Amino acid sequence: MERKDDFLERRKHLAGLSDAELKERFWELAFKLATPMSELAKSHTSPSIERSVLLRMGFDSIQSREIVQKVLEAGLLSKGAGHVILKLSEKLKISIEDAGKAIINGENIDNLFSEAKNA
């Protein structure tokens, strides 16, 4: 099967554009394509996404799994596990790592989760 070479026909509407205009058109289309995905990501998450975020925050996979489970059980997964850890860290004036460990160990968890639901 041979592919029909219609490149020249398909690019006619772009032929008169300069390099700068082509670059602008590319980014316009890229943002147009990515915007729905970005909007969806703002309002939807999953335990696997949250574990991935925690891994990038420096937690190991076992810690990440435990933190996400605790956040999920508290009904705060939509806030984001990383956000919950950040808020606990700020509230208690401790490091991110210590805040994660506090969630794993169940320390301050009721107080944090009650406040986080209102944040």
Mean pLDDT by 10 residues, the chain (119 residues): 85 91 95 88 85 95 95 88 92 92 82 61
The CA distance from 21 to 65, in Å, is 47
Domains of the chain plus CATH, in order, are 7-43 (no CATH), 47-116 (1.10.8.1000)
pTM of the model: 0.62
pLDDT at residue 108 in the model: 64
User: Six-digit token pair at 94?
Assistant: 């401790």
In order of 60, 68, 117, the CA distances from 89 in angstroms are 18, 16, 16
